[in-house]
Amino acid sequence: MSALPLSGIKILDLTRVLAGPLSAQMLADLGAEVIKIERPGGGDDARAFGPPYLKDPEGKANNNNSFYLCANRNKKSVTVNIASPEGQDIIRELAKTADVMMENYKVGDLKRYRLDYESIKAINPGIIYCSVTGFGQTGPYAPRAGYDAILQAMGGLMSVTGHIDGEPGEGPMKVGPSIVDYMTGMNTSIGILSALFHRKANGGEGQHIDVCLFDTVIASLSHWLQIYLVNGVTPPRRGTWGNGGMPAGVFRCTDGELMLVVGNDGQFQRTCAVLGAPELATDPRFLKNNDRVVHGKEIMAIFAGLFLKKPVAYWLDELEKAGVPSGPINNFEQVFADPHVQARGMRVKVDHPFEKDLSLIRNAITFSGTPIKNYRAPPLLGADTADVLATIGYDAAKLEALKEKKIV
């Protein structure tokens, strides 16, 4: 087997919370050496985002919570107080040999420390410097801080998410997980990988990459936002209804619910047969998908009545035989109990100082030639400070002096 795709790439990671750390984690999974810079004492802000925390073997309070654990595997943790001149010197020294530097501070914050792109470029012209923010490096909102939920609201995602108008609980709704952070992390990784390719394959130079949550959430609205750009009308909230093929949505059965998406006319005909109502496939209101979109409320109501006649397992089995996409609505326990999820190995085990078999979620990419086989636990705060700083000339005595001054 070959080495991991990013073996030999060094990344200096000054990001915190979720979007930036998720990107750095992905790059670490792919083989990059990721040096995570954290505040002495407190560390990444995510460490204080609340329980659950791992149990310390000695029963002590700690800062290794789920929020931090989800985004920081395969990294090295180095504590540095970048507000101090000595700490800034450490960062600049590490940056001299880095391929990539990542940060998610407010626009302009790092310039006062001479850790901004222009300052780092002066000592490492080939560096790829990636800034991840709420609103980007330019524009009237650039100075603002931004969190996932704020951008879900401002970017339009919440306006088209939630119960259908007229139903109980109608109104804008946030998507459960921090989906904008996750998508921003993916865009960040794509940007960094593209810049690395450009630098090596095209003889290009290093550059500054500007990625933000606001741009990401707007771009992610895809065909929904394109509807508005075509006809000037914002699509209505559709609850669990699908976004293209009809009928599509959650249907209640005798013992629970399932999700159905009828993607084309052939699937509609087969679904009608499964439901014991083949005549619906020749009903003039429902012949073509465009017809079913126009008469959406009617066909959804008819299907709702038919699905109520039998249990979930029966319908899923029959729909599977008919080649119609459908699935159960799983909770997290059911997700990890699913035989397909188990076969894909989505839960991986790592050896953490507090828990020998700590479960994590694996990287979602599968390579044939350079598989990701080994995962290292998210590091304890400052676990790698001595080893990393030794590579730039900080011996034990110098390190101890910095610790006494709370610089590392």
Question: 25 and 145 share a domain?
Answer: yes
Domain boundary among 283, 315, 336: 336
Question: 253 and 159 share a domain?
Answer: no
- The pLDDT-based confidence of 204 (bands split at 50, 70, 90) is confident
Q: What is the pLDDT of residue 67?
A: 96
Question: 268 and 181 share a domain?
Answer: no
Question: 137 and 27 share a domain?
Answer: yes
In a domain, 5, yes or no: no
In a domain, 341, yes or no: no
- The pLDDT-based confidence of 359 (bands split at 50, 70, 90) is very high
Q: What is the pLDDT of residue 393?
A: 95
Question: 58 and 27 share a domain?
Answer: yes
CATH assignment at residue 90: 3.40.50.10540
For all residues of the chain together, what is the average pLDDT? 96
pLDDT in tens, 132-188: 999 999 999 999 999 999 999 999 999 999 999 888 989 999 999 999 999 999 999
In a domain, 242, yes or no: no
Q: What is the pLDDT of residue 244?
A: 81
Asked if the model's pLDDT at residue 401 lies above 90, the reply is yes
* List of residues 6+ apart from 368 with CB closer than 8 A: none
In sign, the C-alpha dihedral spanning 319, 325, 331, 337 is: positive
Question: 303 and 194 share a domain?
Answer: no
Asked if the model's pLDDT at residue 50 lies above 70, the reply is yes
Q: What is the pLDDT of residue 75?
A: 98
Q: What is the pLDDT of residue 63?
A: 96
Element housing 35 (H / E): strand 33-38
92, 103, 97, 88: which is closest to 209 by C-alpha?
A: 103
Question: 380 and 321 share a domain?
Answer: no
Q: What is the pLDDT of residue 376?
A: 97
In a domain, 303, yes or no: yes
Question: 14 and 57 share a domain?
Answer: yes
In a domain, 229, yes or no: no
In a domain, 231, yes or no: no
In sign, the C-alpha dihedral spanning 93, 97, 103, 107 is: positive
Q: Average pLDDT of 57-66?
A: 94
Q: What is the pLDDT of residue 378?
A: 98
**Coil, helix or strand for 36?**
strand
Domain boundary among 292, 311, 336: 336
Question: 196 and 86 share a domain?
Answer: yes
Asked if the model's pLDDT at residue 2 lies above 80, the reply is no
Q: What is the pLDDT of residue 221?
A: 95
pLDDT in tens, 17-41: 999 999 999 999 999 999 999 999 9
Q: Which amino acid is at 16?
A: R
- Report pTM: 0.94
Provide the domain limits for residue 324: 248-336
* CA-to-CA dists, residue 209 to 59, 60, 98, 104, 133, angstroms: 43, 41, 15, 12, 11
Asked if the model's pLDDT at residue 1 lies above 70, the reply is no
In a domain, 236, yes or no: no
Domain count, the chain: 2
CATH assignment at residue 303: 3.30.1540.10
Question: 171 and 274 share a domain?
Answer: no
Asked if the model's pLDDT at residue 390 lies above 70, the reply is yes
Yes or no: say if 240 and 249 are a contact pair by the CB < 8 Å rule: yes
Question: 130 and 68 share a domain?
Answer: yes
In a domain, 228, yes or no: no
Question: 328 and 354 share a domain?
Answer: no
Q: What is the pLDDT of residue 134?
A: 97
Residue positions annotated with a catalytic role:
181
